[in-house]
Amino acid sequence: MTELATQATGLARPDQTRQHSPLYFAWRRFADNKAALGAGVVLVVLILMAIFAPLITGTGGNEQAFLTQSLAFPSGEHWFGVDDLGRDFFARIVYGARVSLGIGLSAALFSLVIGLPVGALAGYLGGRFDWVTMRVIELFSVVPPLLAALLLASVTRGGLWAIVLIAALFGWVNVCLLVRAQVKSFREKEFIMAAQALGASPWHVIWRHLIPNSVSPIIVGFVLAIPLAMMLEASLSFLGIGVQPPTPSWGQMINIGMNFIFFYWHMAVFPTLALALTILSASLLGDGLRDAFDPTLKGR
Amino acid sequence: MRLVEIEDLHVSFSQHDGLVQAVRGVSFGLDSGESLGIVGESGSGKSVTCAALLRLLREPPAKITAKTLSLSGHSVLGISNRAISTLRGRVAAMVFQDPMTSLDPVFTIGHQIAETILAHRKVTKREALAQAVELLRRVEIKNPGAVTNYYPHQLSGGMLQRAMIAMALSCEPDVLIADEPTTALDVTIQAQILQLIKDIQAETGMGLIMITHDLGVIAETVDRVVVMYGGKVMETGPVEAIFSAPLHPYTRALLNSVPGQTAGKQRLVEIAGSSPNPSHPPAGCPFHPRCPLAVAECRQTAPPLETKAAGRQAACIRVAAEMVAA
């Protein structure tokens, strides 16, 4: 900071020079991280595939159009083969991406909706509200998420929205902690006091100063919540209490594929690969964003 | 009705090992159009006094009590956060010591000034931005239109302090409180900023409270001075009188220790000892352990602030006797 400031002594530079926002510099750092950039591209492709699924696949995810060719191996006609019920497996994988990514994104969104205000208030108000929030978070961190999710999923009998809410219930904790830490450190900064001295209300300080200064942890928390939610969905579906058939879900497909793995390997391998690829790219993207937004984190 | 009225202000901070008494019974006032300097060394309670006036201290740990603590007739004690934030900025605006950290790093200068305007007045965003450009021009920033698009890290300290002043002015305050506005700046910029503050004060007729530890700053900018030490007011009076004939032994010691009063190389004059520990202030007059004139009585009772000459007050029992002798 001081270094930059001393460099900028004298008068302002002429109008012609382009002004770069902090976001621009974050983008430059992100673009230098090839793994994260690649992961981002893969994720975008996956999302586009999920959105335009009907245009990519010949048949719907649940259409038993190839009953005579059940359990056929991958071929030019059926890229990922055909499953035990005569459905094109590629179509099921692509439609499965809708479920997986849809749950991942909406669970991350819900995590943000809960975690952001709670974290910002806990960090700003401190005191009793902060204490209670932290005890609640500790409660969440001592309960194994999968066990609790199992219990909740069996009570609610699964279903898409139940899983989204369960994933958000465990995902908001991370977002909340990230936002709280950032708000807590920034509310002692001088510019917050300066804003208050010029008549800014607490609401204004939180909304216009503390949250914009927390954008980077918010984005990172959001992106990192996506793979967590997708893993949870896959685990629950694998155990048979998540997304119910016939809706295609990768976890559920892995579970079915396991029964065939010695004879028809494609039934287990393709959904596993799809899940691994998606979660890996979401995690790499999240890590890349975190590094890009935190230039002080040099040792990587 | 005075613009600022402080009577018997006490501010303490509770800590693990007891109470830190930062301000112990400070009283002074400010009329509109008047400029007042508060001078004192680190820990004398000058910044805390002004932060208490705007209720900027976090309570708890801070505890503020006073007989009167008011901004243009509105008491600031025991009122809601919402009520105080309408007084802040409009009645009294503050400029801080370090301009580098006093602006939000993620927004442009123009955005921040416009935000302040929007918070206080009913104007459109476009009008607020136009006013921001006008304010930047007024604080003598060249090409203000371009500067509105700069982020704080792209400007120098002097420019940022000008922007801070513009931001404070945007609310058209009745009184501007400047908390060591030039401490973080280099000397040539200091002079420019002080001149700017003086000019703006003359132009708008607002009240000015200048907090500083630099006697040179005080001499250049204000009409009246409050000298603080150990959380108490030691002496108040017109600036010329204080500089030419200081009453209180502390003021004299302070003026003596300003370097460069005579030509040639010599040892710097200092005040022996160190300033009192605010968690265990000495009994009696806070200055007595370092005072060359201290007598037994100084150790027991704290002298009240008394009028010693026309418009001049000092808190010292030895002053009257001294004056007569001199």
User: What's the pLDDT tens digit per position in A227-241?
Assistant: 888 888 888 888 888
Report helix, strand and coil shares of chain B as percent, to nearest 5: 35, 25, 40
- Spell out which residues of chain B touch residue A209, defining contact as CB-CB under 8 Å: 104
A7: contact with B, CB 8 A cutoff: no
Asked whether residue A69 is assigned to any structural domain, the reply reads: no
Contact present, A58 and A88 (Cβ < 8 Å)? yes
In a domain, A289, yes or no: yes
ipTM, two decimals: 0.72
Residue of A nearest to B145 (CA): A15
pLDDT in tens, chain B (326 residues): 788 888 888 888 888 877 888 888 888 888 888 889 998 888 888 888 988 888 888 877 888 888 888 888 888 888 887 788 888 888 888 888 888 888 888 888 888 888 888 888 788 888 888 888 888 888 888 888 888 888 888 888 888 888 888 888 888 888 888 888 888 778 888 888 888 888 888 888 888 898 988 888 888 888 899 999 888 888 888 888 888 888 888 888 888 887 776 777 777 777 777 777 777 878 888 888 888 777 777 888 888 887 777 778 888 877 765 554 44
Inter-axis angle of helices A266-293 and A250-258, to 10 degrees? Answer: 140
* List of chain B residues whose C-beta atoms are within 8 Å of the C-beta of residue A212: 104, 106-107
Measured CA to CA, the distance from residue A5 to residue B155 in angstroms comes to: 7
**Interface residue of B102, B125, B175, B180 to substitute, partner A, most A CBs within 10 Å:** B102
CA-CA distance, B151 to A83, in Å (whole number)?
A: 58
Assess if residue A67 is contained within a domain.
no
Q: What are phi and psi of B72, to 5 degrees?
A: 35, 55
Residue A199 has phi, psi (to 5 degrees) of 95, 15
Q: Any chain B CB within 8 A of the CB of A212?
A: yes
Q: Distance (Å, rounded) from C-alpha A59 to C-alpha A77?
A: 12
| Domain of A212, in residue numbers | 31-59+80-293
Residue A53: inside a domain? yes
In DSSP terms, which residues pair with B6 in a beta bridge? B28, B69
- The CA distance from B116 to B127, in Å, is 13
Does B215 touch chain A if contact means CB atoms closer than 8 Å?
Answer: no
Is residue A4 situated within a structural domain?
A: no
B234 beta partners? none
Tens of pLDDT along chain A (300 residues) come to: 444 444 444 455 555 455 666 678 778 888 888 888 899 999 999 999 888 888 877 777 777 777 777 777 777 777 787 877 778 888 888 888 888 889 999 999 999 999 999 999 999 888 899 999 999 999 988 888 888 888 888 888 767 888 888 889 888 998 999 999 989 988 888 888 888 888 888 888 888 888 888 888 888 888 888 888 888 888 888 888 878 788 888 888 888 888 888 888 888 888 899 999 999 998 888 888 888 876 565 444
The pLDDT, as a whole number, for residue B325 is 47
A17 falls within a domain: no
Q: Cβ separation of A198 and B168 shorter than 8 Å?
A: yes
Taking contacts as CB-CB distances below 8 angstroms, the residues of chain B near A204 are 119
For chains A and B, CB pairs below 8 A equal: 111
- Cα angle B69, B231, B311 (rounded to 5 degrees) comes to 70
DSSP letters for B118-129 = HHHS---HHHHH
Check B100 against A10: CB less than 8 A apart: no
Contact A203/B at CB under 8 A: no
- Write out the two tokens for A233: 């969905």
Longest dimension (CA), chain B: 67
Residue carrying structure tokens 């476009």 = B126
Distance CA B178, CA A27 (A): 38
**Number of structural domains found in chain A:** 1
First to last CA, chain B: 38
Burial class (CB in 10 A: 0-12, 13-18, 19+), B201: buried
- Using the Cβ of B101 and the Cβ atoms of chain A, whether some distance falls under 8 Å is answered with yes
Using the beta-carbon criterion (under 8 Å), do B156 and A200 form an inter-chain contact?
no
- C-beta atoms of A198 and B82 within 8 A: no
For chain A, the residue count is 300
Q: How far apart are CA B189 and CA B195, in angstroms?
A: 10
Whether residue B243 lies within 8 A of chain A, CB to CB, comes out as no
Q: Please indicate, yes or no, if residue A202 is contained in any of the structural domains.
A: yes
Q: Give the residue ranges of DSSP H helices in chain A.
A: 2-7, 22-32, 34-51, 53-56, 89-125, 127-142, 145-156, 160-186, 190-197, 202-204, 215-238, 250-258, 266-293
Name residue B298's amino acid.
C
Contacts of B115 in chain A (CB under 8 A): 208
B116/A199 touch (CB, cutoff 8 Å), yes or no: yes
Average pLDDT, chain A: 82
Q: How far apart are CA B298 and CA B234, in angstroms?
A: 13
d(CA B326, CA B312): 17
How far A106 CA lies from chain B's nearest CA (Å)? Answer: 28
Distance from CA of B184 to the nearest CA of A (A): 11
Look-up: residue for tokens 């016939």?
A: A246
Residue A21 lies in a domain: no
Q: Does B316 touch chain A (CB under 8 A)?
A: no
Whole-prediction pTM value? Answer: 0.73
Q: Contact, A123 vs A210, CB < 8 A?
A: yes
Provide the pLDDT for residue A133: 93
CATH, residue A192:
1.10.3720.10
